[in-house]
């Protein structure tokens, strides 16, 4: 009788392991791919001034620190884009490193950005850090900070 119980327990453990390996839980690689894709879409939305799309990606508690030290909250960032005070002409990502920590993803990257602001076009080479968190099944950007890389 004991052998039957042990065999049944072994069988159930194996079924559990097979289920766990084939489950719909995201792996670290899948999460990194999803966040990387979202980051690239966000850059495209910024260039195309898609404030509606950006509004869904940006968390209500966003803290966005530009390379010049200016800090904007979500509403300020979207208003700046919407009113054309800042126009992103291109954003080219060169390096992207992603660390997944629970329901958060921290990105460290390098990008070349062409932006029109305050009446002038700026070409900047930036090193940046941003943080996404997963809320209600969606990733949202809650923090961005960039620094110019000097030539």
Whole-angstrom Cα distance, residue 129 to residue 145? 5
Question: Which pair of tokens denotes residue 82?
Answer: 């919407």
- Structure confidence by residue, pLDDT tens digits, 95-145: 999 999 999 999 999 999 999 998 999 999 999 999 999 999 999 999 999
pLDDT at 22 over 50: no
pLDDT at 49 over 90: yes
Give Dmax over CA atoms of the chain in angstroms: 84
pLDDT of residue 24: 45
CA distances from 25 to 16, 66, 133 (A): 14, 35, 17
Question: Which pair of tokens denotes residue 10?
Answer: 């072994």
């Amino acid at each position: 009788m004991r052998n039957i119980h042990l065999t049944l327990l072994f069988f159930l453990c194996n079924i559990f392991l097979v289920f766990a390996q084939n489950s719909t839980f995201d792996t670290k690689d899948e999460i990194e791919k999803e966040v990387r894709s979202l980051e690239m879409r966000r850059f495209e939305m910024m260039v195309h001034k898609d404030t509606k799309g950006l509004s869904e990606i940006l968390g209500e508690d966003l803290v966005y620190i530009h390379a010049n030290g200016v800090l904007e909250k979500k509403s300020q960032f979207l208003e700046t884009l919407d009113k054309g005070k800042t126009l992103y002409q291109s954003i080219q990502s060169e390096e992207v490193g992603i660390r997944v920590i629970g329901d958060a993803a921290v990105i460290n990257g390098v990008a070349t950005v062409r932006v029109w602001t305050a009446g002038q076009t700026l070409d900047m080479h930036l090193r940046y850090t941003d943080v996404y968190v997963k809320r209600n099944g969606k990733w949202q950007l809650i923090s961005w900070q960039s620094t110019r890389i000097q030539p």
